[in-house]
Structure 1
Amino acid sequence: MVADIAIHRDDENNPHFHVMLTVRPFNKDGSWGNKATRKYILDNKGNHILDKNGKKKFKKVSSTDWNDREKFKSWRKLWEKKTNLYLSSNGFNEKITHLTNAARGLETLPTIHEG
């Protein structure tokens, strides 16, 4: 996986960061792997089922779970735990949460940061 991280400390009242991650894995030789593969849908005799345009029907199968909403939530939860551990061990009383504003019952909308 590749992560592109931008840390913004220009406003002391709003330190934050942005992370962009790939959903495409690497192959063992270092080349890019496939985001997904096709699993063709077959009938009970093993023949391809065709769609209305005569093309073979298939299901998209992701090669990783990195684009899965539950995986993202678990990563956010891990980030919360690790960050709060370091905040506490460095004398800060503030805590962060992995929860969205909506999940926290806040009606405040996230702001747009223009750089």
Structure 2
Amino acid sequence: MCLGKKIDAADALLARYLAKAQARIDRDFGGKPRLGAAQAAWVAYRRIECGDVFDYWAEGTYRTIADAECMLRLTQQRTHEVWQAYLTYPDSTPPLLPEPPR
């Protein structure tokens, strides 16, 4: 699978995990944790971080691949962070969704 399709799949998985996390927040905490604001900040971070990687490799043809790999890696990491913070329990209760790839 090409990197573009992998990024699209990772973005879709992240959206699924965010929706489930937001539903839990709304149900259990009346929507108080600011997941939406945190996600917006993360999207800005990803854009800046991967843009910087792209600029760093400006002299070579690798820059497009480096940018895409950055996007994929950070998206997978964010999905795992959302899963761990919002979709798991501190006891033996099963998580709300399966553990995503890192």
TM-score, reference length from structure 1: 0.31
User: Which protein has greater RCO, CA pairs closer than 8 Å, 6+ apart?
Assistant: 2
Higher-Rg structure is 1
The structure that is strand-richer by fraction is 1
Normalised TM-score (structure 2): 0.34
